[in-house]
Structure 1
Amino acid sequence: MAAAAQAELIHDVQLDYFGKQLATAGGDRRIKIYEVVNGEKSHQTAELVGHDGPVWRVAWAHPQFGNVLASCSYDRQVFVWREHSPQQWSLVHKFLGHEGSVNCISFGPREFGLRLACASSDENIAVLTYLGEHSPGQGQWTSTMIKAHKIGVNAVSWAPACSGMRLVTAGCDNLVKIWNCDESGNTWAEEATLGRADERHTDWVRDVAWAPTVDGAAEMIASCSQDKKVIIWTAGRSGEWVPKTIQMSCAVWSVSWSVTGGILAVAGGDNQVTLWRESHVGEWVQIGALEEGGGGLLPSS
């Protein structure tokens, strides 16, 4: 894919809602937008500049808000961009409230309006809310800061809308925490720190992902860590979160759920992406791996 032509290290790649546009976050401080054709070919349509450090993550908003993309960087800044006409982008909001690297961003479910959660090395989460009635550009933004994790916050993920306005975060304190918002939509509080001491990660938690909820299935959260473990947390009937651990061979950097939540992709320090699914007996088993270079799916041996 043409995205491979970006000279510097690419830290993140995200497809938009329809799979028609692809955004990359580069170590060269640039965000590049590509048009995807038949899922196989792409050509660059835009380059967004303005960050003063490596760009760690990009995130697309739901299309009901227009073609809106957010980016975050080592430079402590969060930018919100909008495509106001085909292949023409403008910076519509700049958030400067963090005092450390902004490591992760995530747009919330569209049912809650245009909200963006930001995770930073300054130990805080910021939740940005757009108060305008239309696509960003002519409305006010507000921000709420949440003191979340000692040393820093590495990742943040929203719960599905059916679970209420909730977030899960991953920290440098080895913890995974859930946060909920009151009915005003402005005040956040810690709901839970997942697991007993002997069930938790023992090193920095690098990523966390709340699974989509389909057909009343139990809520699930995946977390991964430098301790070489992936933990699948499942909500029990009495409100507790039950962990199941997948032992990996190296530090794990990223976890991502399929659209329906049935398959979990895991990316580790061995440059491999493996796919996992829960068996009929409740154990998580590897069902395959993504072939290096994007060539296809390799079945598990």
Structure 2
Amino acid sequence: MFVARSIAADHKDLIHDVSYDFHGRRMATCSSDQSMKVWDKGGNAEWNCTASWKTHSGSVWRVTWAHPEFGQVLASCSFDRTAIVWEEIVGESNDKQRGQSHWIKRTTLVDSRTSVTDVKFAPKHMGLMLTTCSADGVVRIYEAPDVMNLSQWSLQHEISSKLSCSCISWNPSSSRAHAPMIAVGSDDSNVTYGGKVQIYEYNEVTRKYAKAETLMTVTDAVHDIAFAPNLGRSFHVLAIATKDVRIFKLVPLRKDSSSSAPTKFEVQVLAQFDSHNSQVWRVSWNITSTLLASSGDDGCVRLWKANYMDNWKCTGILKGDGSPVSGQPGALSGILGSATAQSALNGSTMSSKHPSTV
């Protein structure tokens, strides 16, 4: 049975994001106290804070890990209009901190004129690339041409979404049949304006990203968005955290391979759940895309799973304080092993002050 443990995070303000590394053995947290902390999982399954430092001059909204192939690398973004890349360095033999690790700032990305609301590394097969989105409605894609020199990043693309951006997700598919694709969510509060989720696709002919799809049925503010791991499927699955939990299926329609027009999709709603009965703040998939975790202002983490008929239902609920929910499914055993599913559990693992931080 999964047991929730509270961690005394010792942040001085709201915790906005928690991110697990590729192996689920390390965790990073960020807060409105302008600091970040790195936690390592010990042999006794306890989380120990191994680094804590002031990172930005404003609230830190998001933190994310690069794939370990590129080293121990973190990126953060902030209300101070910047995104920063950090790298962990282990002290040399002549260092006073011999054998001790410390995090150093490799670069500060300063292109945004407004708050940088999300930051994500691209899938590993694309190389070391980093994407940011901002309140000014611009998505920026950077590349490190030399993975051994993380102080050099070049701005490759700027995509204007016309809406204030709140979150981004890369499509993880490495299939040659699928062009690189980014989903962008908006927290614009104007509910009369539909299409709070936009899908952008890279075109080999024009060498630019173009809008391929807008999910017009999403009219409420979007707080988080997550493509499911692809695992060789011909279609894509996208989870959205808004006033409820929604799961969309995007089926690519055939097109002429030489065409410069973006792919068109048949958009299907696989599931929609208002069980949180409140704002949903985070959605996260497990590594096999069979389980979706969501967290909301009701202070609960809810787990969603599809049966062989592709019907989704709730398979478990966990309160933020770790106590069971009476009369609800308790089948949490064995399905929370993936770090990506656990990354939606911030509220139950971190002592934070507000359920919106999960």
Contact 1:144–1:186 (CA under 8 A) maintained in structure 2: no
Contact 1:290–1:296 (CA under 8 A) maintained in structure 2: yes
Aligned match of 1:30: 35
Partner Cα separation in structure 2 for residue 207 and residue 106 of structure 1: 12
Q: Displacement, 1:265?
A: 0.7
Aligned match of 2:144: 130
- Give CA-to-partner distance per residue, 1:164-187, whole Å, 9 cap, x none: 311011112552111112338952
Q: Displacement, 1:206?
A: 1.4
Tell me which moved more, 259-268 or 183-192: 183-192
Larger radius of gyration: 2
Question: Which residue of 82, 101, 117 maps to 1:87?
Answer: 101
Aligned match of 2:210: 189
Aligned match of 1:141: 154
Partner Cα separation in structure 2 for residue 111 and residue 296 of structure 1: 40
Tell me which moved more, 63-72 or 4-13: 4-13
Aligned match of 2:170: 158
1:111 counterpart SS class: helix
Partner Cα separation in structure 1 for residue 111 and residue 10 of structure 2: 33
Q: Displacement, 1:40?
A: 2.8
Question: Which residue of 168, 172, 175 maps to 2:196?
Answer: 175
Contact 2:234–2:251 (CA under 8 A) maintained in structure 1: no
Question: Which residue of 21, 38, 57 maps to 1:16?
Answer: 21
Matches within 5 A, 1:1-301: 2=7, 4-38=9-43, 40-85=45-90, 86-134=100-148, 136-137=150-151, 139-150=152-163, 152-160=164-172, 161-162=174-175, 163-171=178-186, 172=188, 174-183=195-204, 187-194=208-215, 197=216, 200-216=217-233, 218-225=235-242, 228-236=243-251, 238=253, 239-248=265-274, 249-294=277-322, 300=329
Q: Displacement, 1:247?
A: 3.1
Q: Aligned letter for 2:15?
A: I
- Give CA-to-partner distance per residue, 1:230-256, whole Å, 9 cap, x none: 221112363312113423111211111
2:86 counterpart SS class: strand
Q: Aligned letter for 2:132?
A: C
1:64 counterpart SS class: helix
Partner Cα separation in structure 2 for residue 149 and residue 48 of structure 1: 35
Partner Cα separation in structure 1 for residue 325 and residue 203 of structure 2: 43
Q: Displacement, 1:5?
A: 2.3
Q: Displacement, 1:96?
A: 0.7
Partner Cα separation in structure 2 for residue 184 and residue 49 of structure 1: 43
Q: Displacement, 1:16?
A: 1.2
* Distance of aligned partners of 1:36 and 1:259 in 2 relative to their CA distance in 1, 3 Å threshold: same
1:5 counterpart SS class: coil
1:205 counterpart SS class: coil
**Bigger relative contact order, structure 1 or 2 (CA pairs below 8 A, ≥6 apart):** 2
Q: Displacement, 1:6?
A: 2.0
- Structure 1's unaligned 5+ residue stretches are none
- Give CA-to-partner distance per residue, 1:102-127, whole Å, 9 cap, x none: 11111111111111111111111111
- Give CA-to-partner distance per residue, 1:16-53, whole Å, 9 cap, x none: 11222211101100011122114731222212323011
* Distance of aligned partners of 1:187 and 1:276 in 2 relative to their CA distance in 1, 3 Å threshold: same
1:240 counterpart SS class: strand
Q: Aligned letter for 2:116?
A: V
Q: Displacement, 1:140?
A: 4.1
Identity %: 30
* Distance of aligned partners of 1:110 and 1:99 in 2 relative to their CA distance in 1, 3 Å threshold: same
Q: Displacement, 1:266?
A: 1.1
Contact 1:35–1:42 (CA under 8 A) maintained in structure 2: yes
- Structure 2's unaligned 5+ residue stretches are 1-5, 91-99, 254-264, 331-358
Partner Cα separation in structure 2 for residue 7 and residue 127 of structure 1: 32
Matched positions, count: 293
Q: Displacement, 1:134?
A: 2.0
TM-score (norm 1): 0.89
**Greater per-residue strand proportion:** 1
2:9 counterpart SS class: helix
Q: Aligned letter for 2:145?
A: L
* Distance of aligned partners of 1:38 and 1:245 in 2 relative to their CA distance in 1, 3 Å threshold: same
